[in-house]
Structure 1
Amino acid sequence: MSGCGDFLGVTRWVAVWMLVVLSPVVSAAGAFQAGLDDSSWLVDSSIYDCRMSHEIPYYGYAVFGQQAGESAEFQLIPQTPRMKSGKAALVSNPPVWKPSAQPREMGWVTITQGERPVTVTGAVFERLLTELFAGQEVSFTRMPWYGADESAQVVLSPVNFRQAYQKYRDCLVKLLPVNFEQIRRTAIYFPSGSDALKADEITKLDNIAVYVNADDSVGSFYVDGHTDSAGHRSDNLELSQRRAEAVVALLVERGVSAEKITSRWHGERYPVATNRSAKGRDQNRRVTIRIEKVGYVETVAPEVQMEEQDAPGPADKSPGKSLDKSPEKAGESGEPSLASVSSL
């Protein structure tokens, strides 16, 4: 009978273990975690954006992501608020199948109210990836926002993480160097009296060309040449033309369709800064690039809209036309001890 009793005991233990790890966890302490059989990491890939997301039952999502031209970041996205503002303890825990391993304290992260209560970048972002890749669970623990006595805990499961992570890395390699917001209004600056493109400015144009050649929804360019007020007005008008043409020539050389580009030049007529200082003149020696994209809706403050209404627009298509309108303007200390995590 003792053998039978041992067998029943083991069976009960296995049944309990299965209940714990094979079903979504919402414990009395408010833990939110995917079970072993429903833990998934999904990857959305494009040349504009890479995202790796993990559904956490009864909580929401954890997302690692990077947009073209931007820094990578991790976010927790709850369906409803779960944790109050403040500091959450970040801990790397061994999974249930590694009972002999020890937890590793990773410090603290800031919790804020809103749709994205946790946003992590930099070294902490990389540490999260490292711990999950190593098969560790990662938990965020903080008092719940609604004032309950027990802490709320959000746990990231490492199950099925590695396969998704490889797809995520493959996506990162293919990301464009910039996004549309970064290039839709660009200023290219020139040395005094020169139409020669500097190395940094060529890099800007290279990035613009890479983006435009990849995005079929880009419709048209408006390239406007300008100078400071040094020298004669007639010479400055000619110089602004050469600058605009130098920019257009490089873009076309990089594969941008010449048919999409309208170039104009204005000499010293439209300064964006005072010509009485060296710094102001540096800003005025420029070619501005404005890119239009099909279906793009720009969201700007009303005062910015008023400024841009005065910019040379699509209707002003004559190269070299001296326009009467004004162009577009340039323009923790005191942390609690990790040992007190259970009381957070």
Structure 2
Amino acid sequence: MRKLLSRASSTILALSVAGMAAANPGVVQQLAMDQVHWSFTGDRFHCELELDLKKNGNLLLSHPAGAPMQVHYRPAQGLPAEVSLASRTAPWQGDRQSQATALTARDDHFRLDQHTSRSVLTALDSGLWTSLYLDTLELRIPTVNWAPVADRFRQCEQQLSPLSVHQARDQVVFYQAGQRALSPEQIADLEDLARYVQLDPQVRKLLVDGHTDNTGSRLGNLQIARERAADVAAVLKAAGIPGTMIEQRAHGDRYPSANNDTTEGRDLNRRVTIRIVRQETEETS
């Protein structure tokens, strides 16, 4: 594993061997090693590592359920005009660093793209330091006491729900014309939903409603809707959801969500909706 991380860090550093290519700081500061204390918080819906940079704000590695891990920077006061980040060797290992990558401003913080965020995590695992560029300031952050907190973060990631509360709240399974069986992709999505339900103690019930377009007879459509709702419920049960939590209903073509006079509308009407009923308390983020 260590050899793999070393190769990954060599790839990162190969982008720029000496000096800065994307930032030109006027002041260089180094965070004292005894001030480098990453703190971990996490549960089944969010994993986070946070580093207090004192007067320079906070650096975070955040992985919410249903979304990719990203690096965030939150300034202590005001927003810098430009923020970028690079990985670098420790001073005693030479002056090598990666190309600095700009963070995108969003509301009151900055964030790094998904791919580079994962590369930063790999670089930290391999012992590389981090350079955070805030306008004309370069803040160099040593990588010390990293392994124990990083292990907790990765264990948290492995146990994350595949969906957030928002993503799981209202799921829809659409059917192509003439489709009878669920596709492997649809089954996988339903299994993710079941996993979410098993992790969220606030879920009380799942309402599974079958709908069709208006092609065919009213009774025939009602039967198709019933069969499709039963198929979806069966997958959820097989994935571990108690049958007592699932309420199945068939509506046929009675409640179209789009115009049945068009192909596109009929495609939207052939569906099974799954609505999650949660206890009315503070929601899991």
How has the CA–CA distance of structure 1 residues 174 and 89 changed in structure 2, closer, same or farther, with 3 Å as cutoff? Answer: closer
- The 2-side partners of 1:191 and 1:113 are apart by 39
- Alignment match, 1:228: 213
Amino acid at match of 1:165: A
- Equivalent in 45, 50, 54 of residue 53 of structure 1: 50
SS at match of 1:106: coil
TM-score of the two chains, using structure 2 as the length reference: 0.81
SS at match of 1:252: helix
Mapping of residues 240-319 of structure 1, within 5 Å? 240-295=225-280
Q: Is 2:138 the counterpart of 1:138?
A: no
CA RMSD of aligned residues (A): 2.5
Mapping of residues 1-344 of structure 1, within 5 Å? 34-81=31-78, 83-84=80-81, 86=82, 88-96=83-91, 98=92, 101-110=94-103, 112=105, 114-116=107-109, 118-143=110-135, 151-295=136-280
Q: Larger Rg: 1 or 2? A: 1
> What are structure 1's unaligned runs of at least 5 residues?
1-28, 144-150, 299-344
Q: Percent identity?
A: 27
- The 1-side partners of 2:231 and 2:225 are apart by 10
- The 2-side partners of 1:214 and 1:91 are apart by 36
- The 1-side partners of 2:216 and 2:106 are apart by 56
CA contact under 8 A between 1:33 and 1:57: conserved in structure 2?
no
- The 2-side partners of 1:90 and 1:213 are apart by 38
Amino acid at match of 2:121: L
CA contact under 8 A between 1:40 and 1:54: conserved in structure 2?
yes
Deviation at 1:224, TM superposition (A): 1.1
Deviation at 1:282, TM superposition (A): 1.8
> What are structure 2's unaligned runs of at least 5 residues?
1-25
Q: What is the aligned residue count?
A: 259
- The 2-side partners of 1:113 and 1:70 are apart by 16
- The 2-side partners of 1:91 and 1:198 are apart by 43
- The 2-side partners of 1:282 and 1:246 are apart by 19
Deviation at 1:225, TM superposition (A): 0.9
Higher RCO (C-alpha 8 Å, min separation 6): 2
- The 2-side partners of 1:114 and 1:278 are apart by 41
